[in-house]
């Protein structure tokens, strides 16, 4: 992938593969089955609203609170679904991933409940709090040098040695299917939305949200919310081909990863638009949610409200669903 | 009240008066009627629980979330009840109070919905954010010098001039009856609790909680939670007579007021015990609630959990209800 035309060829090749693969595999029925499958592992999170924020935004907002989800983020859904879809033989050998974020904790927890080992490859310099979260759920941490090559080699070693199944954080159909259960709950609870907004980093949540919305509420438009400093999804969406990000930079630390390939395919087909905001707008929206709704969210969760407040005319008078992706934030480093 | 024996005589005199007054006025039926009366003005707040905190505490905790209440605190209940119990003639002349805290905002809001004026006497140097909260609900601010005498004189002037009815923040039966609706909701939702803990400052919430618990769940013991630096309720409770506080000091800024007289009477008759914690224990409990439950609370709300964590053996294996009193906190001054 040294130059652009190679990259495009690579993407097009893979898109055909994904097109074949995704559409038959995730259906209205399969998302419902996923919801049943993970029922003992995740919360049906509440939907909150605030008259004060509605007044401020000029529309009616419904916040789906994945900050109250197990492990503090929507990631619990996808990881649980992927683990529970493994065969008996696969389960016996365990699961593996390389991540230091919410997915690592989510996978460790899903594996713990399924009583199988979870091997988490993590850079040796990862923050202690993240290592503790994984260990707290019984995950086995494999430390590696802090670079992508070492992480991938570390993962390969674990997979080779134990025969563990690699569960990636977003570029995986079972993970996307799991994340789709979040929007399913919204529609099952009877919310009739004009628009549904989800943040986009790797694209697992946005892809799942777009698929579920297409099945259960086809009149609802899905919009992706992205930080300006990590706008590869926006740029890929506009260009029509996958453009990975090089040096992402945003306070929304959960959204710094490049869009996954499968995710890009689904998103480019099913999402209405991807909009961006800068960090000062994200911080302002985050503060509004803390002050008016009295809930703790991570910066990534605030991107969607920031988009609504930046583009008021676009949402005026509409019923707008917003997925708050998680609440894992370092409280000693709040940006206000 | 220059010396102790005068104070005791004063208290005993007043206690007889209160005994006559309280018991016939607040009943099982009257609290239910209050709940109906204020139904369009307040939320039925949710009850949250956290497996992680249960494990930490060694008991089963149920958090009644008044931080999600209108105006961000339980105070919305008492103010609404007091305003709505006024006669037509009284209403026409408006209501008044001297307060710069949650009660001022709660009274302004209740008056706004009832379409009557609310005169709020506030020291000229009160924080802008508090003035804005009152003005945002249409309250009329009367500024005064920042001392108790000026406040009381300011209040007297308003009452004399407009004939407005003074609604005090806690030392008032209709206010206590309103606060009692919070525990009523807990028991109506089917929670069978061994213990119910509420923080105590002026004592409106604790007195209402104790009355409601006596009516609807007499086997449940009620415990008051107080900061060590403002422990007049604890000292009064132990002594058996009312001891006002002189220089209260605690991060739990909502609990710095002296216990009210009517409140003391009810509390000394109906509450099992009052326990105290220091500020470091309050801050630690506050952080646990932010991190594990992902909700924003004010320091006063954390005092009850701090008490449970300090006295684990007392609560071991029990079902413990905890009233989180509010969520109005200056986010730029969080103690972590």
Determine contact: A334 vs chain B, CB below 8 A.
yes
What percentage of chain A has pLDDT greater than the value 90? 85
C-alpha torsion sign, points A190, A194, A196, A197 = negative
Pick the CATH number of A75-166 from 3.40.50.1100, 1.10.10.10, 1.10.10.60, 2.120.10.30: 3.40.50.1100
What is the arithmetic mean of pLDDT over A79-106? Answer: 95
Query: In sequence order, which residues have a C-beta less than 8 Å from that of residue A190 and are 6 or more positions away?
Result: none
Confirm or reject contact between B315 and chain A (CB < 8 A): no
Instruction: Give the Cα separation of A302 and A293 in Å (integer).
Output: 12
Helix (H, G, I), strand (E, B) or coil at A120: strand
What was the pLDDT predicted at A274?
A: 98
Chain B residues with CB under 8 Å of A331 CB are 287, 290-291, 334, 336
Per the CB < 8 Å rule, is B336 touching A336?
no
* Per-residue model confidence (pLDDT) at position B4: 41
The C-alpha of B221 sits at a distance from chain A's nearest C-alpha, in angstroms, of 29
Per-residue HEC secondary structure of A144-212 comes to: ECCCHHHHHHHHHHHHHHHCCEECCCCCCHHHHHHHHHHHHHHHHCCCCCCEEEEECCCCHHHHHHHHH
Interchain contact, B297 vs A294, CB within 8 Å: yes
Residue B161: predicted pLDDT: 97
Q: What is the mean pLDDT of residues A269-289?
A: 98
> pLDDT of B282-292, one tens digit each?
999 999 999 99
> Do residues A50 and A235 touch, judged by C-beta distance below 8 A?
no
Check if A136 contacts B (Cβ < 8 Å): no
Query: What pLDDT shows up at residue A65?
Result: 98
How much is the pLDDT for A144? 93
Mean pLDDT of B105-111: 97
Q: At what angle do helices B299-310 and B279-288 cross, to 10 degrees?
A: 100
- Which residue did the predictor score with more confidence, A226 or A129? A226
Closest-CA distance, B162 to chain A, in angstroms, reads 31
Where do the structural domains in chain B lie, given as residue ranges? 4-73+172-333, 75-166
Of the pLDDT bands very low, low, confident and very high (cuts 50, 70, 90), residue A3 is very low
Q: What pLDDT does A126 receive? A: 84
Check whether A45 has a pLDDT greater than 50. Answer: yes
> What architecture is the A4-73+172-333 domain classified under in CATH?
3-Layer(aba) Sandwich (3.40)
Average pLDDT value for residue range B216-229 = 98
- What are the tens digits of pLDDT across the range B61-84? 999 999 999 999 999 999 999 999
A234 neighbors A243 (Cβ within 8 angstroms): no
pLDDT category at B129 given cuts 50, 70, 90 is: confident
Instruction: Please report the ipTM that was assigned to this predicted complex.
Output: 0.90
How confident is the prediction for chain A on average, in pLDDT? 92
The answer to whether residue A77 scores a pLDDT higher than 70 is yes
- Spell out which residues of chain A touch residue B331, defining contact as CB-CB under 8 Å: 287, 290-291, 334, 336
Q: Is the pLDDT of residue A18 over 50?
A: no
Poorest-confidence range of A42-46, B99-103, B136-140?
A: B99-103
Q: How far apart are CA A153 and CA A167, in angstroms?
A: 15
> How is residue B295 annotated by DSSP?
B
- Phi/psi region, residue B134 (left: phi>0; alpha: psi -120 to 50; beta: rest), is alpha
State residue A41 phi and psi, 5-degree precision.
-110, -15
Q: How far is B293 from chain A (nearest CA, A)?
A: 7
A-interface mutation test, from B293, B296, B301, most A Cβ less than 10 A away:
B296
pLDDT score of A24: 59
Question: Which region among A191-195, A256-260, B73-77, B218-222 has the lowest average model confidence (pLDDT)?
Answer: A256-260
Least CB–CB distance from A296: residue in B68, B295, B336: B295
Q: What digits encode the pLDDT tens for the residues A245-275?
A: 888 999 999 999 899 999 999 999 999 999 9
**B107, B118 in Cβ contact below 8 A?**
yes
Distance from the A276 Cα atom to the nearest Cα atom in chain B, whole angstroms: 26
| A4-73+172-333 and A75-166: identical CATH topology | yes
Phi-psi region of B298 (alpha: psi -120 to 50; beta: other; left: phi over 0): beta
B68 touches chain A (CB under 8 A): yes
What's the CA gap between B315 and B305, in Å, rounded?
Answer: 11
- By C-alpha distance, the chain A residue nearest B326 is A294
Share of chain B above pLDDT 70, in %: 93
Residues of B in contact with A294 (CB under 8 A): 67-68, 72, 295-297, 327
- Angle separating helix axes B128-136 and B102-113, nearest 10 degrees: 20
Among the partner residues B287, B294, B297, nearest to A68 by beta-carbon distance: B294
Q: What is the predicted pLDDT for the residue at A128? A: 83
B129 — contact with chain A (CB < 8 Å)?
no
Mean pLDDT computed over B248-275: 95
Asked if the model's pLDDT at residue B275 lies above 60, the reply is yes
- Chain B residues whose CB is inside 8 A of the A295 CB are 294-296
A331–B287: do the CB atoms touch at under 8 Å? yes
Confidence of residue A100 (pLDDT cuts 50, 70, 90): confident
Report chain A residues whose CB lies below 8 A from the CB of B291. Answer: 296, 331
Cα→Cα distances B274→B43, B59, B129, Å: 28, 19, 32
Task: State whether residue A296 sits within 8 Å of chain B by CB.
Answer: yes
């Amino acid at each position: 992938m040294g130059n652009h035309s190679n990259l495009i060829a690579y993407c097009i090749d893979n898109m055909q593969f994904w097109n074949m693969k995704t559409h038959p595999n995730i259906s209205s029925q399969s998302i419902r089955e996923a919801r049943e499958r993970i029922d003992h592992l995740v919360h049906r999170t509440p939907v909150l609203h605030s008259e004060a924020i509605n007044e401020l935004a000029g529309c009616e907002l419904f916040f789906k609170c994945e900050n109250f989800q197990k492990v503090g983020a929507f990631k619990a859904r996808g990881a649980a679904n992927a683990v529970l879809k493994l065969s008996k033989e696969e389960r016996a050998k365990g699961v593996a991933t390389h991540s230091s974020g919410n997915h690592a904790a989510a996978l460790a927890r899903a594996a713990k409940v399924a009583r199988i080992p979870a091997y988490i490859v993590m850079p040796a310099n990862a923050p202690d709090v993240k290592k503790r979260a994984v260990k707290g759920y019984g995950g086995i941490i494999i430390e590696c040098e802090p670079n992508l090559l070492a992480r991938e080699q570390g993962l390969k070693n674990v997979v080779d040695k134990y025969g563990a199944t690699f569960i990636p954080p977003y570029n995986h159909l079972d993970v996307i299917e799991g994340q789709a259960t979040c929007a399913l709950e919204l529609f099952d609870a009877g919310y009739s939305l004009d628009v549904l907004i989800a943040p986009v980093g790797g694209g697992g949540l946005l892809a799942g949200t777009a698929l579920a919305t297409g099945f259960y509420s086809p009149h609802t438009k899905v919009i992706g919310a992205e930080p300006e400093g990590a706008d590869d999804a926006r740029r890929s969406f506009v260009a029509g081909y996958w453009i990975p990000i090089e040096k992402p930079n945003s306070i929304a630390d959960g959204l710094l990863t490049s869009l996954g390939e499968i995710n890009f395919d689904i998103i480019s087909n099913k999402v209405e638009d991807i909009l961006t905001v800068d960090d000062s707008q994200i911080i302002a929206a985050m503060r509004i949610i803390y002050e008016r709704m009295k809930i703790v969210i991570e910066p990534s969760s605030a991107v969607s409200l920031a988009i609504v407040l930046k583009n008021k005319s676009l949402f005026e008078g509409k019923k707008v669903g917003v997925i708050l992706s998680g609440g894992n934030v370092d409280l000693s480093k709040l940006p206000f």
